[in-house]
Amino acid sequence: MTITILGIETSCDETAAAVVADGRVVHSNVIASQIELHRAHGGVVPELAARGQVTAIIPVVNAALARAGVCREDLDAIAVTQGPGLAGSLLVGVNAAKALAFGLRKPLVTVNHLAAHVYANWLSIPGVAEVEPPALPAVCLLVSGGHTELLVLEEDGIQRVLGRTLDDAAGEAFDKGARLLGLGYPGGPAIQKAAAGGNPAAVALPRAWLGESDDFSFSGVKTALLRTVEPYRVPETAPPGPSASPFPEHRPPRFHDDMPTGDLAASFEMAVVEVLAVKTARAACRCGARSVLIAGGVAANLILRRRLVEEVAVVFGGDSPPVRWPHLSLCTDNAAMVAGLGAVLYNHGEVAAWDADAFPRFPLGSAQLGSRRSMP
């Protein structure tokens, strides 16, 4: 018997809904983006994000059901991101999911956003990306927004955090680096695009190796980029006047024509990616991993994927495990990953109460990823 789950995701600025069967097969995955809205402000404005999600949530849910060809009554449960994320945005999704579940008399399942990103590696899109479950034990590099963590997923289902960022996450570093270079928002794609025409060895930027630790630190490379860029910056001729809007538009910096933007972007990208790849490959070898996974929005970075494959091959030698990442549509925030993990939890009776709340701070250590049932 097929288990059909509707997933809802509103942890940041996206409004997403998806229908997933049996925890693995994605039948629809609808995302309403707010990138253009927030680009004018240089980053996500939480209040604007939540306002947009209030109006988008029902149309997005309806579109997900229509594309999957299912009725609301066909659903077995409603799964929703409970945290971590922006408080106002999370509340939109949680309350919408509660209303749908209550009205349809369906169970409500709450999901940790970070655990869902990891679980995206278990999802298949018929005719597009059909995959088998990753072999365990696996080491997973989770690089999602404000989170950078290195995990090991054991064969018995136990999940351990090996290391995490001590300051800026990789995604934050890309956003701030793009802002320093005047490349716009979102930072990750902007850095990758600018770096494509640059030399990653042109500018010497530091790497924070932190000895043998599995932890990460990216504040130093960000500061080094700031100091490198500063001589090229054109001083403001006059401070901006007061804005009538409570959400003033972002004024990007201006630079002299001789600034090597491509080289700076490529060098910065490599400084971040190299540390991520080397530490992940070393941890995978130490843990005897049978597969190496990337999860989260930064998993879409082509240089990270390529460098991690290279590092794993070097560390393991001739018998290296496969390096995997989700389909591009499942790397950034989406509801299919929520529905998928939600199905696993539903199958084992982990149903939320009606007083379930949003948790802006929801560490992965308390996520529903620490038992056998999370690894079908």
Helix (H) / strand (E) containing 67: helix 46-68
Taking CA atoms, 192 is separated from 183, 196, 258, 263, 310, in Å, by 10, 6, 20, 11, 19
Contact 195, 262 (CB under 8 A): yes
CATH topology of domain 138-232+252-326: Nucleotidyltransferase; domain 5 (3.30.420)
Contact 53, 45 (CB under 8 A): no
Cβ burial 132-166 (10 Å sphere, 16+ → b, else e)? eebeebbbbbbbbbebbbbbbbeeeeebeebbbbe
Taking CA atoms, 365 is separated from 54, 87, 158, 321, 368, in Å, by 30, 20, 11, 26, 9
Using N-to-C axis directions, what is the helix angle for 302-316 and 187-195, rounded to 10°? 80
Tell me 230's DSSP state. Answer: G
Evaluate the CA torsion angle 16, 17, 21, 22 in order and state its sign: positive
* CATH number attached to the domain at 4-129+329-374: 3.30.420.40
* Domains in the chain: boundaries: 4-129+329-374, 138-232+252-326
Report which of 13, 346, 343, 312 is spatially closest to residue 186, judged by C-alpha positions: 13
Taking CA atoms, 157 is separated from 154, 372, 373, in Å, by 5, 4, 7
d(CA 33, CA 137): 35
Residue by residue, pLDDT tens for the chain (376 residues) are 899 999 999 998 899 999 999 999 999 999 998 777 777 677 788 889 899 999 999 999 999 999 999 999 999 999 999 999 999 999 999 999 999 999 999 999 999 999 999 999 999 999 998 999 999 999 999 998 889 999 999 887 678 999 999 999 999 999 999 999 999 888 899 999 999 989 999 999 999 999 999 999 999 999 999 999 999 999 877 666 665 566 666 667 888 999 999 999 999 999 999 999 999 999 999 999 999 999 999 999 999 999 999 999 999 987 899 999 999 999 999 999 999 999 999 998 999 999 999 999 988 764 444 333 444 4
Domains 4-129+329-374 and 138-232+252-326 share a fold: yes
Site of tokens 């910096």: 253
What are 215's two structure tokens? 């932890």
